[in-house]
């Protein structure tokens, strides 16, 4: 029997054999993983091994050629996609997310930042681990721009995910809302999936008595007008991180993001040739004693189209 042989790396250390294989062969059903381990089509260091065996750096994973995963070539689209790297080390890669690119693929044939980062990691990294793949450590909507962190090691993934969950990483956004928000506000609501969205429409969130608590602090920066519509440039801080949090809470408190028709904006910016709405993840504040080498603060400047639109509204930009 012919085997493909793969050497395990640092991020595979201490994991169960079946867990390593499942990560390395994500399309192989779990039942077949166990069957192939039992039948010696999958071996560790050339020997039949139990699924629960813990692996070590330098171990060889043997996979029968008939089931070995094939490497996926980089596509021209993935290679050519451009974005700014704000920070990168062996643990974390932080980018300035472009407008209109989803973080994770929602349908077949769709380009996502997740697959771009994975492809570039495979091409550039010296890590030989089979069970680790980089991934997004928090979420931004497709039409939101700004700071987005991806793991580059298991240690980075574990620390950053825990820091997000415990709110020790602080997130600040800049957004343009309809209406004149006069005073700083702290919005506290429970958010849940909106089950009353018509079939075929974009699925939204809504304020609910039974949802999860969301807290958004909205601080007005400056004012302007888009046509006859008053607008406010707002700094948002979010101690919690719920799906569509800023979008749904802004709308529910009478200040929808300008152009965000999914959340009650009266203006359709996209039909007028602009971005669908303007929301930008501007700043991450990070504990100074973090073990993964992140600086205490990361910032991303507003994209040019965002700044251009603010000039149309006669608003001074925060970058100036």
Q: Which helix (H) or strand (E) holds 259?
A: none
pLDDT at residue 93 tops 80: yes
3-class SS of residue 225 = strand
Q: Which has the minimum average pLDDT: 42-46, 75-79, 131-135, 179-183?
A: 75-79
3-class SS of residue 157 = helix
Query: Residue 198: what pLDDT?
Result: 61
Q: Considering only residues 107 and 127, tell me which one the structure prediction assigns the higher pLDDT.
A: 127
pLDDT at residue 313 tops 90: yes
Q: Give me the architecture of the 76-162 domain, per CATH.
A: 2-Layer Sandwich (3.30)
Summarize the confidence of residues 187-203 as an average pLDDT: 76
pLDDT at residue 1 tops 60: yes
Query: Residue 72: what pLDDT?
Result: 44
Contact 224, 233 (CB under 8 A): yes
Instruction: Establish whether domains 76-162 and 168-312 are of one fold.
Output: yes
State the Cα–Cα distance between residues 199 and 309, nearest whole angstrom.
33
State the Cα–Cα distance between residues 291 and 133, nearest whole angstrom.
20
Task: Please tell me the CATH code under which domain 3-64 is placed.
Answer: 3.10.290.10
pLDDT digits (tens, 9 = 90+) for 220-234: 999 999 999 999 999
Query: Residue 141: what pLDDT?
Result: 93
State the Cα–Cα distance between residues 270 and 277, nearest whole angstrom.
8
What is the CB neighbour count within 10 angstroms for residue 295?
A: 13
pLDDT at residue 109 tops 70: no
Per the DSSP assignment, residues forming a β-bridge with 4 are: 63
pLDDT at residue 121 tops 70: yes
Q: Would you identify the CATH topology of the domain 168-312? A: Pseudouridine synthase (3.30.2350)
> Which tokens go with 241?
């991180």
Which range in 29-43, 203-217, 253-267 is most confidently predicted, on average pLDDT? 253-267
Summarize the confidence of residues 43-56 as an average pLDDT: 93
Residues above pLDDT 70, as percent of the chain? 91
Summarize the confidence of residues 281-293 as an average pLDDT: 95
Query: Residue 73: what pLDDT?
Result: 43
Burial code (b: 16+ CB inside 10 Å, e: under 16) for 98-136 equals ebebbbeeeeeeeebbbbbbbbbbeeeeebebbbbbbeb
Summarize the confidence of residues 109-116 as an average pLDDT: 84
List all residues 6 or more positions away from 191 whose beta carbon is below 8 Å from its beta carbon. Answer: 205, 206, 207, 208, 211, 212, 214, 242, 243, 244, 245, 248, 249
For 175, list phi and psi in degrees, rounded to 5. Answer: -145, 160
Query: Residue 154: what pLDDT?
Result: 92
Average pLDDT, whole number, for the chain? 88
pLDDT at residue 201 tops 90: no
Show me where the domains of the chain are located: 3-64, 76-162, 168-312
pLDDT at residue 5 tops 90: no
3-class SS of residue 80 = helix
Residues above pLDDT 90, as percent of the chain? 59
> Which tokens go with 217?
């602090």
Per the DSSP assignment, residues forming a β-bridge with 280 are: 145, 174
Summarize the confidence of residues 6-34 as an average pLDDT: 86
């Amino acid at each position: 029997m012919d085997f493909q042989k793969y050497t395990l790396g640092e991020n595979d250390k201490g994991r169960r054999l079946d867990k390593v294989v499942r990560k390395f062969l994500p399309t192989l059903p779990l039942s077949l993983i166990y069957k192939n381990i039992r039948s010696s089509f999958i071996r560790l260091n050339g020997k039949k091994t139990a699924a629960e065996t813990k692996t070590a750096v330098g171990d060889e994973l043997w996979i029968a050629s008939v089931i070995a995963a094939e490497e996926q070539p980089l596509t021209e689209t993935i290679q050519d996609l451009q974005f700014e790297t704000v920070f990168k080390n062996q643990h974390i890669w932080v980018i300035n997310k472009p407008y209109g690119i989803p973080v994770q693929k929602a349908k077949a044939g769709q380009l996502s930042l997740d697959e771009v980062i994975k492809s570039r990691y495979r091409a550039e990294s010296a890590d030989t681990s089979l069970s680790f793949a980089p991934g997004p450590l928090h979420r931004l909507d497709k039409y939101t721009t700004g700071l987005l962190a991806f793991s580059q090691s298991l240690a980075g993934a574990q620390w950053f995910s825990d820091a997000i969950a415990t709110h020790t990483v602080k997130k600040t956004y800049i957004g343009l809302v309809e209406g004149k928000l006069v005073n700083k506000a702290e919005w506290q609501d429970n958010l849940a999936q909106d089950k009353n969205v018509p079939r075929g429409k974009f699925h939204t969130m809504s304020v609910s008595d039974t949802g999860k608590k969301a807290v958004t602090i909205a601080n007005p920066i400056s004012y302007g007008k888009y046509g006859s519509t008053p607008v406010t440039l707002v700094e948002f801080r979010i101690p919690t991180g719920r799906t569509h949090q800023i979008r749904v809470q802004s709308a529910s408190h009478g200040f929808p993001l300008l152009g965000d028709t999914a959340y009650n904006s009266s203006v359709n910016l996209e039909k007028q040739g602009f971005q669908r709405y303007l929301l930008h993840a501007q700043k991450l504040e990070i504990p100074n004693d973090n073990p993964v080498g992140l600086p205490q603060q990361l910032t991303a400047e507003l994209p040019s189209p965002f700044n251009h639109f603010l000039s149309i509204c006669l608003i001074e930009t925060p970058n100036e």
